[in-house]
């Protein structure tokens, strides 16, 4: 009987420590769609009335994995995907991402705020925009490095091949 209680206590402690260290993402947008696959063309999570289901701004979602421009997360027991642009990684997630990928994939880390992403490796080149507004990566954000172009890094930012000046990013 004592042995069973000891084993149960150990199992509970291990489970609690694993859940405490679980990585998560925080929703930073409103009316964010949850996707059934990691694609903007994928169907969205809907309720029984066919209406889109949206997590609340500030809600924490358990991180299950990385899928390009999306995170694989658990939302109310369902596995779905959320666009990275509408989330902020938890400290646990950030520290887990700090290690270089086993595949040898390299990244740059954005070191400035309001950094412009250029369509060509030139300070005079047009910038990446959505709806006529410049798109700015967040300070500290990691972006896949695709190559080197003089004073610029060529990166893949949310599916766009763009350039970021080396004064505003550092290679990992």
Tens of pLDDT along 91-110? 544 444 444 444 567 899 99
Sign of the alpha-carbon torsion through 67, 70, 71, 72: negative
Q: Measure the N-to-C terminal CA separation of the chain; round to a whole number of Å.
A: 53
**Residue 85 per-residue DSSP state:** G
Indicate if 101-166 has the same CATH topology as 2-96.
yes
pLDDT tens digits, 57-81? 889 998 888 788 888 888 888 899 9
The predicted pLDDT at position 172 comes to: 83
Q: Does domain 2-96 have CATH number 3.30.470.10?
A: no
135/100 Cα distance (integer angstroms):
26
Average pLDDT over residues 138-144: 93
Separation of alpha carbons 19 and 171, rounded Å: 32
Q: Where are the domains of the chain?
A: 2-96, 101-166
Note whether 172 and 142 are within 8 A (CB).
yes
**pLDDT, greater one: 5 or 44:** 44
Two structure tokens written together for 35: 């996707």
* pLDDT tens digit sequence for 12-40: 444 444 444 458 889 988 899 999 998 88
CATH architecture of 101-166: Roll (2.30)
């Amino acid at each position: 009987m004592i042995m069973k209680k000891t084993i149960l206590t150990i199992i509970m402690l291990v489970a609690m420590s694993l859940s405490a260290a679980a990585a998560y993402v925080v929703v930073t947008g409103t009316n964010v769609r949850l996707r059934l696959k990691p694609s903007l063309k994928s169907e969205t999570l809907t309720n029984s009335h066919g209406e889109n289901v949206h997590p609340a701004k500030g809600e924490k979602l358990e991180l299950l994995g990385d899928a390009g421009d999306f995170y694989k997360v658990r939302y109310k027991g369902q596995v779905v995907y959320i666009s990275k642009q509408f989330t902020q990684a938890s400290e646990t997630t950030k520290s887990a991402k700090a290690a270089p990928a086993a595949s040898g994939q390299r990244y740059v880390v954005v070191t400035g705020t309001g950094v412009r992403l250029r369509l060509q490796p030139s300070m005079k080149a047009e910038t990446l925009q959505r709806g006529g507004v410049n798109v700015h990566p967040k300070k500290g954000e990691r972006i896949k490095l695709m190559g080197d172009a003089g004073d610029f890094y060529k990166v893949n930012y949310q599916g766009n091949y763009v350039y970021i000046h080396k004064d505003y990013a550092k290679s990992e």
